[in-house]
Amino acid sequence: MFSLRRGPVNFLWLATVLFTVAPLLITAQVDPDPNSPTPVLISIEGAPRLLTYQALKSRKHSLARPSLDFIRPSGLAVMFVANLDLMEGEDAGAFRIYARDEKGRTYRFPVVDLAPTPDQPGVYAITFRVKDEIGYWPEPIARGDLVVRLSWRGLSSNELLLGYGSKGGRLSTEKNLKSSSLNDFHASESPSPDRATSALAGIGYRRSGDRRRFLEQATFGPTLELDARVRRLGLRVWLGEQFNKPYPSAAYPYPNISLKSTNTDDIALGCGPAPVPTTLEYRICIRDHYSMYPVQKWFFSEALYGDAQLRHRVAWALSQIWVISGIDTQQSSWMLAYHKALSQNAFGNYRDLMKAMTLNPGMGNYLDMARSTRNNPNENYPREVLQLFTVGRFELNQDGTLKFDAINNPIPSYDQETVNNFTKAFTGWTLCNTGCPSSATGIQNYKDPMILTNQGSNHDLTAKTLFTYPGAPFANIPACTGCTGTARDTYARNSLEQTLDNIFHHPNVGPFVSKILIQHLVTSDPTPAYVSRVAGKFNDNGYSVRGDLQAVVRAILLDPEARGDVKTDPNFGKLREPVQLLTNLARQVGIKGANASGLSDGVVVGQTTNLGQNAFNSPSVFNYYPPDNVIPGTALLGPEFKLLTTGTSIGRANFVNTMVFSQIGISENSPLGTSLDFAELQGIAASDTTSSLLVDALNTRMLHGTMSASVRSSILTAVNAIPSSNPLQRAKQAVYLVATSSQYQVQR
């Protein structure tokens, strides 16, 4: 049987809490070296050509076999890779093989198997099929070499030639390809030579690049203070601290906005009829109650200055899964109640989050469950809860890849008949307009959870056929024919719990939710192995608890694919969404009010709106961008790229221009305004007439040390075109160039 109550708190984390209450006692947490070794593909002797031959059934792939000049299209072949440091259970799904043809088109070859070689310790044979699995371009033409490389944990191997159908062709003359035969490669070298000494090498978590990357993933942007704290505590202890931080931060409590009449003109419970001429009082009444303004202002204030960054970040990600939008949510108080329910469960259990969202009245309005009755059922919530919030459209393996049927088609997770049945299960709930804490005459109670109407009188009492999968709880909810009174009441309540359990235990939920959260925090196209490790934690946090979101978040942020000072896999990373672009820039440079030294008021949403992300006003339940968005003209998965068009790419540059060379001025709705604070960078610029220190500081703060030599040189030239007597302008010049660069727009 399934335990319906889950205990998200476990002993390990209690221990962590005990540690973190006395952080002064802790000088450092021993975090392992975050840098995985870089995989090395083995070439034939003396030439930059992949050592390869047709795969054998036995999996005994000896390096001693003679290499083939070419592999036939669709054939199964092996390649050899060294310099790995595999975790337990890490298998073929951790690797990706990319091939590039002479047209520059990239293909991906499916990795079939990973096995140690019998004759060389530390060298692995990888079996792959020479067939594109992306399908964006037609299969490459078999007339010569492809350039292949392998990636693992966000790190790219060397590149080598692979004969595809035949050997030779234009790519054979490509520069930068070097042989890496076994003789050149000394397997005896430790893949991570400083692993054993890192904890002794100094105080704290010294990995500057990884610290910054970690904070880009876990917060709304690294600051000097946060960076120092993570250095002192280490990643794991810092996570434990964040899991238990009061939220929202004491300085930025949720705005306390009262429910109003749905009729804005109502004199007593609305804002009254619009006066002519308009008055400040009226405008503020409308703004604060009938728009998302207070939610947005609070949200950005917490993001810019709050100290419960991780919960804020995860709640923001969850709000882009369980979407409700101000477009159909009349009042800010409704959205705030929704966000409270979301954030309270952000580090709890997913099953509890599912129930809180299902009965949230804002959601009930947005997706119509509050109006769905047995006689007039509404399919909106049932369909989207399955498609977008929990299970997804197709059956998944634990690693997030699609399952296929006998004729190689993806298997739909459900059909219209399923939706009809779930629709019945979700009928009969409505707003609590009497008897709940926020119930009052004349207003609709969009704060308190929805309640069952009249002991279930609007609930469909017929049988429901739900998901069937191995071990599925409540796959069939029997009818309650003729039930009345408390029997009906109990039946309807149980039906809801059972329905949520039936969804929650669907094997898709772990990989589905895990992959989207990885995409929001770390990278757009995680390897199946990464998804599988996180989904494994979703399925069981180690204490037989399913759905523990703390365990999921920890697994996402501490995974070897997420960690490391630098990532070289060309397909690693993600475009910063507009909200993250704004908050990261603000926190990395410094942020204050306009014309003064005080704090920003947080009224900045106009900037992200221009870039396609009007926070809390998603265009639809499908969020600002879908998790499966493919970048036009490529085969790259890139959700946030949905928001990057010719128009918004220039918009991003113009946003940076506004922030760097101007400011968000003071106005009626922006009492303090917002501007970047250049004081510190100006000081750095003034201290070094060569500007090296300035550019290096931005490299560390904004690019976590990955600025390439050509970028650095270009920016230095532009900065030094300004006289050293003007260090403020120099600092602005440098920040503008880093912040507008694609190198910064992409979080890697």
Partner 1 sequence: MNESRRDFLKKSGCALGMAAIATQMHHLGAMSALAQRSISRQGSLLSGADEGYKALVLVFFAGGNDGNNMVIPIHNDASVSNYAAYSAARNTQGLAIPQASLLPISVPAIGGLSYGLHPSLGPVSGQPNNGIYGLWALGKLAVVSNVGTLVRPLTKAQYQNASYQKPSQLFSHSDQIAQSQTAVANTESFTGWGGRLSDRMTPLQPPAPNDPLIPMITSIAGSQLFTSGQTTLPMAIADSGTSLANVLNPAGFTNTGGAARKVSFDQLRGYDWDSNYIRAASDVTNLALQANNALQSTSEVTVSFPNTSIGRQLKQAARIIKERADLRVQRQIFFCQVGGFDTHSNQLNTQSNLLTQFSQGVRAFYDEMGVQGVSDNVTLFTMSDFARTLNPAGSGATVGTDHAWGNHMFVIGGSVQGGNFYGMPTANGTPFPTLTIGAAGPDDTDSNSTARGRWIPTTSVEQYASILAKWYGLPQDAPTLASVFPNIGNFDTASGALNFLL
Residues 135-194 that bind partner 1 (CB under 8 A): 135-137
Check residue 606 for interaction with partner 1 (CB under 8 A): no
Question: Does the protein bind partner 1 through residue 622 (CB under 8 A)?
Answer: yes
Residues within window 285-344 making contact with partner 1, judged by CB under 8 A = 327
Of residues 27-66, which lie at the interface with partner 1 (CB under 8 A)?
none
| Candidate segments 265-273, 296-304, 684-692, 705-713, binder of partner 1 by CB under 8 A | 705-713
CA distance 715 to 702: 14
Site string for partner 1, 365-394 (x = CB under 8 A): --xx--xxx--xxxxx--x---x-----x-
Closest to partner 1 by CB, 319 vs 747, is: 747
**In this structure, are residues 702 and 746 in contact, taking their beta carbons and an 8 Å threshold?**
no
Determine, following the binding rule CB under 8 A, whether residue 710 of this chain makes contact with partner 1: yes
Euclidean distance between CA atoms 49 and 146, whole angstroms: 10
Quick check: 103 binds partner 1 (CB under 8 A)?
Answer: yes
Q: Cα separation of 585 and 657, whole Å?
A: 12
Q: Containing H/E element for 40?
A: strand 40-41
- Assess 277 for contact with partner 1 (CB under 8 A): no
Q: Which of 47, 630, 666, 686 binds partner 1 (CB under 8 A)?
A: 630
If DSSP codes are grouped into helix, strand and coil, which group holds residue 355? helix
* 88 part of the interface to partner 1, by CB under 8 A: no
Residue 543 or 622 having the CB closest to partner 1: 622
Q: Quickly list DSSP for 50-108.
A: B--EE--TT----TTSPPPSEE-TT-EEEEEEES--PPTT--GGGEEEEEE-TT--EEE
Phi, psi torsion values for 114, nearest 5 degrees: -130, 130
Stretch that binds partner 1, among 67-75, 87-95, 160-168, 726-734 (CB under 8 A): 726-734
Minimum Å gap between C-beta 622 and partner 1 is 6
Q: Kindly list the distances between the CA atom of residue 461 and the CA atoms of 11, 108, 373, 438, 464, in Å, as whole numbers in the listed order.
A: 42, 51, 11, 30, 9
Instruction: State the binding string over 6-25 for partner 1 (x if CB under 8 A, else -).
Output: --------------------
The two structure tokens encoding residue 57: 């059934």
Residue 406 binding partner 1, by CB under 8 A: no
Q: Work out how close the CB of 444 gets to partner 1 at its nearest, in angstroms, rounded to a whole number.
A: 12
**CA 598 from centroid of its chain's CA atoms:** 32
For residue 255, which of 302, 221, 219, 307 has the smallest C-alpha distance? Answer: 302
- Cα 253 to Cα 72, 101, 339, 676: the distances in Å are 64, 55, 12, 24
How near is the Cβ of 102 to partner 1 at its closest, in Å? 8
Beta strands 160-164 and 70-71, pairing class: parallel
Q: Is 690 in the site for partner 1 (CB under 8 A)?
A: no
User: For partner 1, how many residues bind (rule: CB under 8 A)?
Assistant: 86
Can residue 708 be called a binding residue for partner 1 (CB under 8 A)? yes
Q: What are phi and psi of 258, to 5 degrees?
A: -80, 155
Q: Does 269 bind partner 1 (CB under 8 A)?
A: no
Among 89, 246, 412, 598, binds partner 1 (CB under 8 A): 412
In whole angstroms, give the CA distance from residue 477 to residue 496: 10
- Closest-CA residue to 209 (of 35, 14, 373): 35
Per rule CB under 8 A, is residue 261 in the interface with partner 1?
no
Give the count of alpha carbons within 13 A of 608, CB side only. 26
CA nearest to 681, candidates 693, 671, 672: 693
| x/- letters, 523..562, toward partner 1 (CB under 8 A) | -x--------------------------------------
Nearest alpha-carbon partner for 267 in 285, 287, 280, 284: 285
Interface stretch with partner 1, choices 209-217, 336-344, 546-554, 616-624 (CB under 8 A):
616-624
Q: Which of 612, 639, 673, 727 binds partner 1 (CB under 8 A)?
A: 612
Instruction: Give whichever of 249 and 610 is closer to partner 1, judged by the CB atom.
Output: 610
**Which stretch of DSSP H or E encloses residue 513?**
helix 509-521
Does residue 563 bind partner 1 (CB under 8 A)? Answer: no
Judged by CB under 8 A, the stretch of 29-37, 99-107, 178-186, 677-685 that binds partner 1 is: 99-107
